[in-house]
Structure 1
Amino acid sequence: MRREAASVPLARRLLLGTMETAGVDPDISFDLSVALSEACANAVEHGGGGEIPDDAEAYHVTAYLDGDCCRIEVTDSGPGFPPATVARRRPSLAEHGRGLHLIAELSDHVRFRNRPGRGAVVSFDKMLKWRDDALLKVS
C-alpha cells in the first residue's frame, strides 16, 4: 500500500468486505478492521526512512485465514519500534503507542518486532466467529 493517509480506509474497507463475504461475525470483523486501521496508520506515520529506498513510500498488508483464526501482518520500511515496545507483550499507554495498545486489546495475540535495517512488523490474530450463513465456516 502507498504510505499515505488514504491507504488506511482502503485497507479497512478491503478487509471488511472480505470478512462480510466470508461470513465472519460483524463484531469480530469490526475489531479486526479497527486493529488493522491502527497498524496501517502507524505504518503511514512512522514507516518511512528505512535503508531500502524503493520501499520508503510503501508498506505491506497481509491477511489470511487459518481455520477459525485470522492473522494480519503489517510491515513497513521505517526505523522500527523502540526496544521497550518490542520487549513488552502489551504496549504502555504513554503519549505515543495508544494505537498499539488498541491493537493488543482488540486481538487475541499480537507481536511487535523489528527487522534490523528493514523496518517494523505488527502481526496480530483473532479467533473468528461465523454467521449462520457463512461461506467459509469451519465446522
Structure 2
Amino acid sequence: MRTTTVRDSESGSITVRLSGLLSRTTASTVRAAVGKAAAECPAAVLVDLSGLRRDAPGQLTTLATASYRAHEVWGVPVLFYGGAADIARELVAYRSFVIHHADRDQALAAVRSYVPRWLRRRLGPVPANARAARRLVDEACTAWNLPAVREDARIVVTELAANAILHAASDFEVVVCCSSRYLRVAVQDASTVMPRAVEPGIEHGRGLHLIAAVSTHSGATRIRGGKIVWALLATDRQPNPLGGTVTS
C-alpha cells in the first residue's frame, strides 16, 4: 500500500491518496496515514480512493474506523472521494461514519460549505509582520468566539512568525484553523531546516519550549520546498488525554 499526502493551502485541507491493495496487512498503513493527516488539524482530510483495491468484502471497515477516530480525537472531518463502483457501493453501509463523494471537486465544495473557520495570510520576512500575524489570530479568535485561547494563540503565532522571519528569509504563510476540538496555528516557510529546541538559557530556540508549554500538541511537517510548524490549542482548555507532542 502506497500513501501520498498533499497539502492544499487554498482550502486548508490535506489529501491522502491511497494506491494499492487494502487488506488485513495494509489496514494499519491506511489508518496511520489518515490519522497522521488528521493530527495536524487541517480544515478537513480528503482521502482519494481512485487507486485503492481490496482483497475481500468487509475491508472497508478500515476507512470507517479511520474516519471515526479523526472526528472523535481531533474533531477533523474526513471526506472520501473517487474509487471503483463496488467500493462506492459498499461504503454506503458505513454512511454513519463515512462521507463519500464522486470526485475531488465535490469533496472540496463540501469542505468549503461546512468548514468556514479557516484564515490564511501571506506575509513578507520583516519584523513588523509578527504583529500582522497576531492580528490574524485576534481576528480568528474574535470571529469564532474563542477568547479562552486567544492569548496563548498570540504567543504561539508570535514565536512561529519570528522564527520564520529570522531563519527563512522569505515570505511565510500564517494559517489559523478551528476544528470542533482545537485551534490550529501554523506557519509555513521556505526553509528546509527543521526547528530544534535548545537548552534553557540559550538565546535562540527557546520559543519552541514556550510553544510546547502553552499548546496541547505541536509539531513540524516537512513539505516540498520548506516546512510547516504548527501548534494545537484545545478550544475547551481541558487537559488532553493523549498529551505529548506530535511531529512528522
Same fold per superposition (TM over 0.5): yes
Higher RCO, Cα 8 Å, sep 6+: 1
Which of 198, 201, 220 is the aligned partner of 1:112? 220
Instruction: Indicate the residue corresponding to 1:103 in structure 2.
Output: 211
> Distance between the aligned counterparts of 1:14 and 1:71, measured in 2?
13
Counterpart for residue 235 of structure 2: 128
Are residues 1:93 and 2:199 paired? yes
Query: If each structure's strand is expressed as a fraction of its own residues, which one has the higher value?
Result: 2
Q: In the alignment, is the contact (CA less than 8 A) between 1:65 and 1:71 conserved in 2?
A: yes
- Where structure 2 has 5 or more consecutive residues not aligned to the other structure, the ranges are 1-122, 238-248
Q: Do the aligned partners of 1:80 and 1:114 also contact (CA within 8 Å) in 2?
A: no
Contact 2:140 2:176 in 1 (8 A): no
Q: Hey, what's the Cα distance between the residues in 2 that align with 1:46 and 1:64? A: 24
- TM (norm. structure 1) is 0.72
Q: In structure 1, what is the Cα distance between the partners aligned to 2:192 and 2:182? A: 30
Distance 1:115 1:23 in 2: 31
**Offset from partner CA, 1:49-73 (integer Å, 9 cap, x none):** xxxxxxxx30111111111311122
Say which of 40, 43, 49 aligns to 2:164: 43
The letter of the residue matching 2:139 is G
Q: Show the counterpart of 1:66.
A: 179
Partner of 2:124: 2
Greater CA deviation, 101-110 or 35-44?
101-110
Per-residue CA shift, 1:1-38, capped at 9, x if unaligned?
11111111011012112202321124x11001111110
Could you tell me how far apart the structure 2 residues matched to 1:105 and 1:92 are? 14
Q: Match for 1:8: what amino acid?
A: A
Quick one: which of 50, 57, 77 aligns to 2:190? Answer: 77
Based on CA coordinates, which of the two structures has the bigger radius of gyration?
A: 2
Is the CA contact 2:156–2:185 (under 8 Å) kept in the aligned structure 1? no
Counterparts of 1:72 and 1:111, CA distance in 2: 11
Which stretch of structure 1 is more off in the superposition, 3-12 or 72-81?
72-81
In 1, the alpha carbon distance for the partners of 2:162 and 2:124 equals 11
Report the 3-state secondary structure (helix = DSSP H, G, I; strand = E; otherwise coil) of the residue aligned with 1:120.
strand
Equivalence for 1:51: none
Matched residues, percent identical?
Answer: 26
What secondary structure sits across from 2:213 in the alignment?
Answer: helix
